[in-house]
Chain A
Amino acid sequence: MNLNDAKIHKPKTFSLNGSGHSEISDLNVSDLYGWRGRDVTDNLYKQLVEKSPDIIFALSYPDLKFTFLNRAFEKITGMKTAAWLGKSIVDIVYPEDVSLAHEKLKENLNSKKPKNFWLRVRSHKKNFLVLEFQLVPKSTSAKTEGGVGVARDITRRKEWENNLKFQRSLLRAQSEASIDGIFVVSRDKEAILYNNHFVEMWQVNGRVLKTHSEDLIMKHLSGKLKKPREFLRTISESYKNTSKKSHDELELNDGRIFSRYSAPLAGGDGSNYGRIWFFRDITEQKGDERKKDDFVAIASHELKTPITSLKAFTQVLTKRQEKSGDKSMEFFLGRMTTQINNLTELVTDLLDVTRLRTGKMDLNCEYFNLGDFLNQSVELSINPDTKQRIKFDVESNPRVRADKHRLRQVLMNLLSNAFKYSKANPKVIVRVGATSKEAVVSVKDFGTGIEAGKLKKIFEPFSQFRKVDADNMPSLGLGLYISSEIIKRHNGRIWAKSQPHRGSTFYFSLPKSNISNN
């Protein structure tokens, strides 16, 4: 019912007679609500009081007995209203809160500026309820005679508040226990949470932190980095794309290296609440990785020197044997050459992986026609017997920009695998084609094929790791990983299709180019 629709009547005060609950002749509810002078009816007031979802009550003073309770009391507490009229409000208070109840009730009934307070009260429905009280004194000639009040059930709210407090304390404990520096930013770019580790690892200035400004804090952090602009640029990008996660590494001016991980704070409904940043000091870990990579690089380099002599001397010996017409050593020299080549491949792969891991694989790109180049590579790099197995099919001759040396390496790796796993059926088809945007190369064999489970991981390092067997050198399964990394660095794609016992086809694509070297 809209108050404006009410019939005009002008009661300044009214009695809560006829409510069936109490008789309080002098309760001035209009004063309580501040509607003095408004045109409303007695009946309207009664309805408002009785239909209120909150408990409305009146107390006598100083015995604090209920002189009035509306229907909401019974609904909320589950206790009979009639049974409590004339009883002290303190008797419904939860035992542990009784002294607090005395204190708060007296304080409010003797104050000109009463303050809200909450108490736990008994309930038939639950162990206890939490009610928030608003209580104002009713006085005549500066003497408190009683009070009128409203009590709202805030049990659910308190449960949520307690739950929230628990979650906050849990979050705080987790963030403080974390080895990461944690920094949380709201949607409005306000720093809403950071742990001590964040402050310590970044040595953040206290005055900057107090601003709670994400912008100022991030700028402060950027001053400690070798590439401050890049840091700020990536942050700006991450805020533009609110669903994007990011992970990178930061180099500090003092030599430390931090990993940075960032994720959006998303609600279940997809709403955005801000962003969380994790920083971890990985200086030591990086140092260990570098030592390991340096060791592999040096060891591989040092291994290549004796292999060079071994290979060259074996070739000299083979050549001299051939010239002399003595074939007695041919078998042994052949085996030696195969094993030296396997060893060379292994060492080269290890070095390449080191270069990929340390980001030191530079490409020397130039423009050329892919079909011509790959055909020439097969002609020059593969011995005549093996070459007979290859059917080279140039559907088109797309122009690309690539590192010839690395591209040859990819093709040779794919061919080497095709030969290795299709000994029973020697045919291998190399096809060069193109789509509107890409040059596509495929190497198809009709060999043993690859199971679906293994196919998924075929381009991961060490995916084909196997022990030494009678025919092979130990394989680290690095060739396809290196090939995929080389193709990725050319902005290309690499993939494979295979059926067990029917063969495999490996594909790679490169962006087409229309530019000539000139």
Chain B
Amino acid sequence: MRQENINNKLVLVVDDDTSILEVIRIILEDGGYEVHTAKDINEAKNKLSTCSPNLVLLDIWLSGGDGGKIAEMVRGNRKTCSIPIIMISAHNDGRAIALKSKVDGFLAKPFDMNDLLSVVKKHISH
């Protein structure tokens, strides 16, 4: 099922729900992306320093700290500041928080897989 990874584009997905991490990984890998996942803020820090993602897909509410902090961390680091960030959230305030955090995009849970692919495609190509 997996498409050939012709773009060599890497997406870091940060979410504390394992099931969601799994399904996003499947959808994105089927879409031809390389996917790394992180379940909390510490894992996210490690991955950011080691894998140089082309885009970060970030859940706003994480059990080990909120996604907003990770967004700040990405934006505050010279090496990572230009990485596009897409926030995802099941919370209704998610859209407003994403706007305030000045991230590049927002996707409300539950999302449509085509919307996920199109928002990643839109921002990762920049």
Residues of A within 8 A of B (CB): 297, 301, 304-313, 315-316, 319-320, 323, 340, 344, 348, 351-352, 355, 360, 362, 364, 405
Measured as residues with beta carbon below 8 angstroms from the partner, the interface class of chain B is 20 to 34
How far, in Å, is B118 (CB) from chain A's closest CB? 10
Could you say which residues of chain B place their CB within 8 Å of the CB of A308?
17, 20, 23, 90, 109-111
Instruction: Say what secondary structure dominates the interface of chain B.
Output: helix
Q: Please state if B27 and A316 are interface contacts (CB–CB under 8 Å).
A: yes
Interface readout for B80-111 with A: 1 if CB under 8 Å, 0 if not?
00000000001111011001000000000111
B61-77: which residues lie under 8 A (CB-CB) from chain A? none
Q: Please state if A305 and B23 are interface contacts (CB–CB under 8 Å).
A: no
Q: Please state if B113 and A312 are interface contacts (CB–CB under 8 Å).
A: yes
Identify the closest chain A residue to B94 (Cβ): A301
Q: Please state if A311 and B91 are interface contacts (CB–CB under 8 Å).
A: no
Identify the closest chain A residue to B19 (Cβ): A309
Identify the closest chain A residue to B24 (Cβ): A312
Identify the closest chain B residue to A364 (Cβ): B99
User: How many angstroms from the CA of A352 to the CA of B91 in the assembled complex?
Assistant: 11
Q: Please state if B1 and A323 are interface contacts (CB–CB under 8 Å).
A: yes
Complex A-B, nearest 3 residue pairs according to Cβ-Cβ distance, in ascending order = A304-B90, A308-B110, A309-B19
Q: Please state if B110 and A351 are interface contacts (CB–CB under 8 Å).
A: no
Could you say which residues of chain B place their CB within 8 Å of the CB of A310?
110
Q: Please state if A316 and B90 are interface contacts (CB–CB under 8 Å).
A: no
User: How many angstroms from the CA of A352 to the CA of B95 in the assembled complex?
Assistant: 13
Q: Does B26 contact A (CB under 8 A)?
A: yes
Could you say which residues of chain B place their CB within 8 Å of the CB of A316?
23, 26-27, 30, 113
Residues of B within 8 A of A (CB): 1, 17, 19-20, 22-24, 26-27, 30, 90-93, 95-96, 99, 109-113, 116
Could you say which residues of chain B place their CB within 8 Å of the CB of A304?
90, 109-110
Could you say which residues of chain A place their CB within 8 Å of the CB of B20?
305, 308-309, 312
Candidates A312, A344, A364, A405; contact of B27 at CB < 8 Å: A312
Identify the closest chain B residue to A340 (Cβ): B110
How far, in Å, is B2 (CB) from chain A's closest CB? 11
Q: Please state if A301 and B110 are interface contacts (CB–CB under 8 Å).
A: no
How far, in Å, is A429 (CB) from chain B's closest CB? 27
Could you say which residues of chain B place their CB within 8 Å of the CB of A313?
23
Could you say which residues of chain B place their CB within 8 Å of the CB of A362?
96
Could you say which residues of chain B place their CB within 8 Å of the CB of A323?
1
User: How many angstroms from the CA of A474 to the CA of B24 in the assembled complex?
Assistant: 30
Which of A304, A309, A323 has its CB near the most chain B CB atoms (within 10 A)?
Answer: A309
Could you say which residues of chain B place their CB within 8 Å of the CB of A306?
19
User: How many angstroms from the CA of A340 to the CA of B116 in the assembled complex?
Assistant: 17
User: How many angstroms from the CA of A308 to the CA of B111 in the assembled complex?
Assistant: 7
User: How many angstroms from the CA of A348 to the CA of B20 in the assembled complex?
Assistant: 19
Q: Please state if B92 and A355 are interface contacts (CB–CB under 8 Å).
A: yes
Given known contacts A308-B90, A312-B110, A352-B92, what 5 new A-B pairs fall within 8 Å (CB)?
A301-B90, A308-B17, A308-B110, A309-B17, A309-B22
Q: Please state if A319 and B90 are interface contacts (CB–CB under 8 Å).
A: no
Could you say which residues of chain B place their CB within 8 Å of the CB of A320?
1
